[in-house]
């Protein structure tokens, strides 16, 4: 059985070991390529400060790249039974192949900053992928907004038909919401994109490490300068990302709720094609919007993510705690869920069919009351008097709705402002480069 990186000849009960390892063998597979990248950066720095010989560095880098190309990328990487985590497995593979040279890669490094750099590299890539998927959904929503900008539908307040809206506004609203969601995601990216390597166990090292060098090699935007804070960042980065994911989930959740409602027979504002629906085992007529119901359910769970992470990291003093291990079990599956929801939402939104002439139904005529009031105001009637006139006509059943919608200001039915929204999205996306 392989020795642990911390082993000192003291045996740990088998069931205790199993409990402490948890799901690391499963989840750490995601971190394997980042552990290789972090290790190459670290040993390159070690050679520059005289802690490795040039020929040793060359041999180590060659073997690490072989592990990356021949084992990790093809999906063959496994963490063996008795090996605690990805860091232990990769160091074990090096020592099996290279002997004592492989044991030198840990100089000036702790598993604490090793897992920190792995997670930050992993999260940085995941954030970019989330941003890309969000941008795709954004583009689909804007396309639908432009295609249906002249198709009116009722707007609601207090779940009652209130004023005229349009599918241009409806689709566009969710597009703009995604822009704000990515602003928060960009903040998470900024926090994640700081190098903790070299903080060791959280108190630095007596070796003359060059942290600026590893920052440049790993293409981090900067350094978590204070070594104690670098360790305090464990949990903070995950929590910041969880807030951004929860905000994005909130937008998807509201969109899914609208689609489920608008697709129902009582509303029939839009229709989902057959390939996006499922049937009933007993009712032949049913075409259920299961896709959007599941997006709604999954995003409700994601909205609770910040509270879950805050509960795990609450009341922890500075320095490393094993509690942080649980964050991977919480966050990694959640990242897959938000990416899946974004992909499915993008695919589904492009297939939504809208209903024309919804407002021709007489039950919606009262939503034009504000238009009638505004017409009187334009003619010179004081607003409060105009309001009373229209109110009395409604009460006496003599109200006649205006036939034309005259909204011209920015962001209204007649002036969606999608170009401005697209410009904002383009600017936000630049922040992930």
Active site residue ranges: 158, 280
How many Cα neighbours within 13 Å face the side chain of 176? 14
Which tokens in the block code for residue 46? 């070690």
Q: What is the CA radius of gyration of the chain?
A: 29
Residue 314 DSSP symbol: T
- Do the bridges between strand 160-166 and strand 222-223 make them parallel or antiparallel, or are there none, so unpaired? unpaired
* 156: β partners: 161
Element (H, E) at 116: helix 111-147
Query: Among candidates 410, 322, 349, which has minimal Cα distance to 143?
Result: 349
The DSSP string of 137-150 is: HHHHHHHHHHHTTT
**Burial (Cβ within 10 Å: 0-12, 13-18, ≥19) of residue 152:** buried
- Yes or no: say if 197 and 41 are a contact pair by the CB < 8 Å rule: yes
- 316/429 Cα distance (integer angstroms): 35
- 413/149 Cα distance (integer angstroms): 7
- 89/29 Cα distance (integer angstroms): 10
* 415: β partners: 412
- Yes or no: say if 242 and 233 are a contact pair by the CB < 8 Å rule: no
Which tokens in the block code for residue 332? 């990694």
- 223/218 Cα distance (integer angstroms): 11
Q: Report helix, strand or coil for 308.
A: helix
SS (H, E, C) 37-100: HHHHHHHHHHHHCCCCCHHHHHHHHHHHHHHHHHHHCCCCCCCCCCCCCHHHHHHHHHHHHHHH
- Yes or no: say if 33 and 72 are a contact pair by the CB < 8 Å rule: yes
């Amino acid at each position: 059985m392989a020795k642990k990186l911390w082993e000192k000849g003291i045996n740990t009960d088998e069931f205790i070991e199993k409990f402490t390892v948890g799901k690391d063998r499963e989840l750490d597979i995601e971190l394997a390529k980042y552990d290789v990248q972090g290790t190459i950066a670290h040993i390159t720095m070690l050679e520059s400060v005289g802690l490795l010989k040039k020929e040793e560095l060359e041999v180590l880098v060659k073997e690490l790249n072989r592990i990356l190309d021949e084992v990790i990328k093809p999906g063959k990487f496994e963490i063996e039974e008795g090996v605690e985590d990805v860091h232990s497995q990769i160091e074990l593979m090096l020592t099996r192949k290279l002997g004592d040279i492989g044991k030198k890669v840990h100089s000036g490094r702790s598993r604490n900053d090793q897992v920190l750099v792995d997670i930050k590299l992993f999260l940085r890539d995941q954030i970019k992928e989330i941003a890309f998927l969000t941008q795709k959904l954004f583009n689909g929503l804007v396309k639908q907004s432009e295609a249906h900008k002249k198709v009116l539908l009722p707007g609601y307040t207090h779940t009652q038909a209130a004023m005229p809206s349009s599918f241009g506004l409806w689709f566009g609203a969710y597009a703009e919401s995604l822009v704000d969601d990515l602003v928060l995601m960009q903040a998470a990216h900024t926090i994640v994109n700081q190098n903790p390597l070299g903080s060791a166990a959280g108190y630095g090292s007596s070796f003359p490490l060059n942290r600026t060098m590893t920052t440049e090699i790993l293409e981090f935007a900067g350094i978590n300068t204070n070594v104690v804070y670098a360790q305090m960042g464990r949990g903070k980065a995950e929590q910041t990302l969880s807030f951004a994911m929860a905000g994005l989930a909130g937008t998807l959740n509201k969109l899914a709720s609208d689609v489920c409602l608008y697709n129902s027979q009582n509303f029939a504002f839009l229709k989902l094609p057959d390939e996006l629906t499922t049937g009933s085992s007993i009712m032949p007529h049913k075409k259920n919007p299961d896709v959007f119901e599941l997006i709604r359910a999954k995003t409700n769970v994601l909205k609770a993510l910040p509270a879950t992470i805050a509960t795990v990291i609450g009341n922890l003093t500075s320095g490393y705690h094993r509690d942080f291990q649980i964050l991977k079990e919480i966050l990694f599956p959640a990242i897959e869920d938000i990416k899946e929801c974004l992909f499915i939402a993008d695919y589904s939104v492009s297939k939504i069919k809208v209903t024309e002439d919804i407002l021709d139904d007489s039950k919606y005529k009262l939503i034009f009351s504000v238009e009638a009031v505004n017409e009187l105001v334009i003619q010179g009637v004081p607003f409060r008097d105009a309001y009373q006139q229209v109110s009395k006509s409604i009460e006496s059943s003599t109200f006649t709705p205006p036939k034309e919608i005259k909204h011209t200001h920015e962001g209204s039915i007649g002036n969606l402002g999608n170009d401005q929204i697209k410009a904002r999205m383009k600017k936000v996306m630049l922040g992930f480069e």
